[in-house]
Amino acid sequence: MLSMSQKTNHGNIMKKKYFKVLNVFLVLLFCLSGVRLVYAGLPVNVDGQALPSLAPMLEKSMPAVVNISTSKNVQLRDNPLLRDPFFRHFFKVPKQQQQKNSLGSGVIIDKEKGYVLTNHHVIDKADRIMVTLSDGRNFSATLLGADPEADVAVIQIPANDLTELPIANSNDLKVGDFVVAIGNPFGLGQTVTSGIVSALGRTGLGIEGYEDFIQTDASINPGNSGGALVNLRGEFVGMNTAILAPSGGNVGIGFAIPSNMAMTLKKALVKHGKVRRGLLGVVTQDLTPELVKAFDLRNSQGAVVSKVDKGSAADLAGIEAGDIFVALNGKEVKGSHQIRNIIGLLQVGEKVEIELVRGRKFKTVVATIAKPQIIMVSGEKLHRVLSGVELTAAAKGQIEGVVFSKIEKTSYAWRSGLRSGDVIVSANRYRVRNIKQFKQVIDPRRALLINIQRGSEAFFLVLK
């Protein structure tokens, strides 16, 4: 007869045997059903069988992910007098510059033409772009086009025998799918991290102008920017672009631009060098419970049109304030951010089919995306010291203000040191974001104090 301690030991032994048999049974069951077990952490150890590994897939995928290094000359901050072109010329003061280097990653998407996809912020304002392949070859790259608002750029290298990544349909991704991030963090060479898709369609983060991110817990570090997010078949599903952490380190929240969005932008960048975005001409807002009740809607999916610009594409298509957008080009609308993203991927002249609810009726309209109207004002109409200049509002993605789009070399503004591209961010100590605000705070009878933003520099200038 067994004692209490012997019974306890015997019970523990039986439990261990039971769970061991159950574990082997489940593994065999998954193997027989054709399901391959892959874990972000440690794999299952099955005696007599090879451990699950991502190595075969990575051997094919990693050569398509390249290292990108850039260099650019940065103007050093100096005495305000040295910014005056006449002072510099008279005293023959050399330009004070410093070379700045950065590292990132890129993905080969066309091996025949040498196209490499990367982030705009990786190559932004670079004087030189160098690409290093996994086999050690180095090439000087040419920038074909960039889109700052979506943080996408395409560069080209003159290389043969390249490996490209097959492109997957990112719309097929589901939360929980395994993904692998490949990149070049901190210039250490190619690095791989694994995880899952944590969320889809992330917007409103304020990271980029156009956001439709894949969220993943695969570690994405600064050097991974522009690298590839691939599925377990080694197909390109997204481009690593950002992390969300107070310290800048990885805390399991990384974001990637979906492959469908990146490839749509790539076509425009290769063809035009930029994304020629048009306008629909509406202002929309998310549906709140109060608005759903007020509009007597059956569900809260969609976005309500709060304003239609007169003469815009939306106006010509018959869209009215109070219409509820429920789908664009067959894609269900969940909120106003989604409308911005869909329209932002369309080019001038393309058509968009809009399904909307007006009252209790469903309606479908087709609008043709129009070219943005640029409001240009002659400077002399605003102030005598601005004679010979043309002013426009800053484009989307730029700092808000009034831009000197054109300055005649014989004008007072030119002699004062102003140049095309300079942005007025304040006038007479008032913040100005557009031409209307600028006009309201200036007095044509008095001197004009303006704060100018020029690249990374800023300075005040008095015109009188």
Tens of pLDDT, residues 352-385: 999 999 988 899 999 998 877 667 788 888 999 9
Radius of gyration of the chain (CA): 29
120 is catalytic: no
pLDDT value, residue 30: 44
Q: What is the pTM of this model?
A: 0.65
The pLDDT value recorded for residue 42 is 45
Please, are residues 131 and 155 in contact by the beta-carbon 8 Å criterion?
A: yes
- Only one residue has tokens 């006449």, namely 86
CA-based angle 66:241:272, to the nearest 5?
A: 75
Looking at CATH, the fold of the domain delimited by 39-275 is given as Thrombin, subunit H (2.40.10)
249 has pLDDT over 90: no
Domain residue extents for the chain: 1-35, 39-275, 282-368, 376-463
Q: Identify the pLDDT of residue 8.
A: 45
Q: What is the pLDDT of residue 19?
A: 44
Are the C-beta atoms of residues 447 and 412 closer than 8 Å to each other?
no
Q: What is the pLDDT of residues 88-122, one digit of tens each?
A: 555 555 555 555 566 789 999 999 999 999 999 88
Q: Quote the Cα angle for 407-413-415, to 5°.
A: 105
CA distance 70 to 86: 32
In the predicted structure, residue 306 carries a pLDDT above the cut 50: yes
CATH number of 282-368: 2.30.42.10
Q: Cα separation of 296 and 291, whole Å?
A: 8
Structure tokens at 123: 């190559």
Q: 121, 170, 198, 219: which is the annotated catalytic residue?
A: 121
Q: Using one digit for the tens of pLDDT, what is the confidence trace for 70-82?
A: 887 655 445 555 5
The residue from 102, 105, 147, 151 that is catalytic is: 151
In sequence order, the β-bridge partners of residue 132 are 67, 138
Give the residue, 139 or 344, on which the prediction is more confident: 139
From CA 252, how far away is CA 243, in angstroms rounded? 8
**Topology of 376-463 in CATH?**
Pdz3 Domain (2.30.42)
Find the helix or strand (DSSP H, E) in which 452 lies.
strand 448-454
Percent of the chain past pLDDT 90, that is, above it, reads: 37
Residue 180 has pLDDT above 60, yes or no: yes
Tens digits of per-residue pLDDT, 23-54?
A: 544 444 444 444 343 444 444 555 656 677 88
Confidence of residue 207 (pLDDT cuts 50, 70, 90): low
CB atoms under 10 Å from CB of 256, counted, come to: 27
B/e letters for 419-437, b = 16+ CB within 10 Å, e = fewer, are: eeebbbbbbeeeebeebeb
Asked if residues 424 and 402 have their Cβ atoms less than 8 Å apart, the reply is: yes
The verdict on whether 121 is a catalytic residue reads yes
Among the options 105, 198, 225, 426, which is catalytic? 225
Asked about 151 being catalytic, the answer comes back as yes
Residues 145 and 106 sit within 8 Å (Cβ to Cβ): no
The answer to whether the 39-275 and 376-463 domains have the same CATH topology is no
Beta bridge partners of 402: 393, 424
Taking Cα atoms as reference points, which of 128, 164, 171, 126 lies closest to residue 146? Answer: 126
Would you call 44 exposed, middle or buried from its count of C-beta atoms within 10 A (0-12, 13-18, 19+)?
middle
pLDDT at residue 289 greater than cutoff 80: yes
